[in-house]
């Protein structure tokens, strides 16, 4: 059977090679140079692999900012961000440099340890989709590695379609009709006295009511729309009912069989469907002296729709399309 290509799971289409990395999630794409214009067949094959595997990886591409944006524009509309930190390139408002994340605590008067400590109220807190409290969370994120540590700093993704499908039928039926409040700053423990971050949260409140099960606008798949970061509570349930059910659903969403873990090398690119996945930013680099510099471009998304066809509703600070 060694000669039979069908058995290694690798698929070839549009001149590219798609190599699955786990049973449900992640595929490495070969045979493509992202710095060159993508022809229609290759772009269609990449989109199809993204829909199937939820996150796709391209090794050793070494894109510059313009090249990164050109790839993003091939698959959607890059979001220009009104607020970024000092490390992001001033001339490219669509690119956010992750070294900014390290600045974040400092902006609100905290060192990194305190910043993380005040924001971690559950064990699965780090798992999130990007900007999930918005009424229209980004459709996708394209992240490229410039400098990575020699070890540590991996990123994990989990497949929310597989997680939904893995629930028992009665529980799927139960959660199909529920909605949840997603809010920025959930679980943050304020500092005593004046707290600059609380002031920031109040001035930039973002909250939406999203379906607990979202229908993917392209594939039609049902997605378990939960994470450990933004979800405040399930609507219509008491807190005593909501908290343990949310815990169960988030645990389900990130079970190891639905995840993939990526070991970054400089020049690598990860492209994920931000509707169909949650991801875990690495937290094992805090005591390493090695820099980790990544650049991120997000693609504009749409208002989520539930199983019954009802769209999400804005609560505050979440006018669709406005950042
Ligand atoms: Fe993220």
- Residues within 5 Å of ion ligand 1 by Cβ? 130
- Judged against a pLDDT cut of 50, whether residue 265 lies above it is answered with yes
Q: Annotated catalytic, 8? A: no
Separation of CA 251 and ligand 1 centre (Å) = 18
SS3 74: helix
C-beta of residue 95 within 8 angstroms of C-beta of residue 72: no
Question: Tell me: the pLDDT tens digits for 67-113?
Answer: 999 999 999 999 999 888 888 999 999 999 987 566 677 788 888 78
Task: Name the residue ranges covered by the structural domains of the chain.
Answer: 8-316
Q: Out of 92, 183, 210, 279, pick the active-site residue.
A: 279
C-alpha span between 18 and 128 (Å, rounded): 26
Query: What integer best gives the mean pLDDT of the chain?
Result: 92
- Judged against a pLDDT cut of 90, whether residue 133 lies above it is answered with yes
Q: Annotated catalytic, 296? A: yes
What is the CATH number that goes with domain 8-316?
3.60.130.10
DSSP letters, 148-194, are: --SS---EEEEEHHHHHHTS-HHHHHHHHT-EEEEETTTT--PPSS-
DSSP 78: B
Question: Tell me: the pLDDT tens digits for 5-60?
Answer: 557 899 998 889 999 999 999 999 999 999 999 999 999 999 999 999 999 999 99
């Amino acid at each position: 059977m060694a000669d039979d290509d069908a058995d290694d799971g690798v698929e070839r289409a549009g001149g590219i090679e798609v190599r699955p990395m786990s049973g449900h999630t992640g595929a490495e794409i070969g045979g493509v140079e992202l710095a060159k214009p993508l022809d229609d067949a290759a772009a269609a094959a990449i989109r199809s692999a993204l829909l199937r595997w939820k996150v796709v990886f391209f090794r050793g591409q070494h894109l510059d900012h313009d090249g990164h944006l050109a790839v993003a524009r091939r698959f959607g509309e890059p979001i220009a961000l009104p607020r970024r930190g000092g490390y992001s390139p001033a001339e490219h408002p669509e690119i956010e440099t992750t070294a900014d994340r390290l600045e974040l605590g400092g902006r609100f008067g905290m060192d990194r340890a305190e910043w993380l400590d005040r924001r971690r109220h559950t064990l699965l807190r780090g798992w999130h989709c990007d900007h999930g409290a918005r009424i229209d969370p980004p459709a996708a994120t394209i992240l490229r590695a410039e400098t990575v540590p020699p070890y540590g700093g991996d990123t994990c993704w989990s497949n929310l379609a597989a997680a939904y499908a893995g629930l028992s039928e009665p529980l799927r039926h139960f959660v199909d009709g529920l909605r949840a409040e997603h809010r920025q700053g959930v679980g943050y423990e304020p500092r005593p006295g004046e707290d600059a971050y609380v002031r920031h949260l109040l001035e930039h409140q973002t909250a939406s009511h999203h379906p607990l099960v979202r229908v993917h606008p392209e594939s039609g798949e049902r997605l378990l729309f939960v994470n450990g970061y933004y979800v405040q509570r399930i609507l219509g349930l008491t807190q005593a009912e909501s908290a343990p059910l949310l815990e169960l659903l988030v645990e389900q969403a990130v079970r190891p069989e639905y995840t993939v873990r990526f070991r970054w090398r400089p020049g690598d690119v990860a492209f994920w469907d931000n509707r169909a996945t949650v991801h875990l930013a690495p937290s094992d680099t805090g005591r390493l002296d090695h820099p980790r510099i990544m650049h991120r471009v997000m693609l504009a998304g749409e208002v989520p729709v539930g199983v019954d066809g009802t769209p999400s509703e804005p609560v505050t600070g979440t006018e669709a399309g406005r950042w």
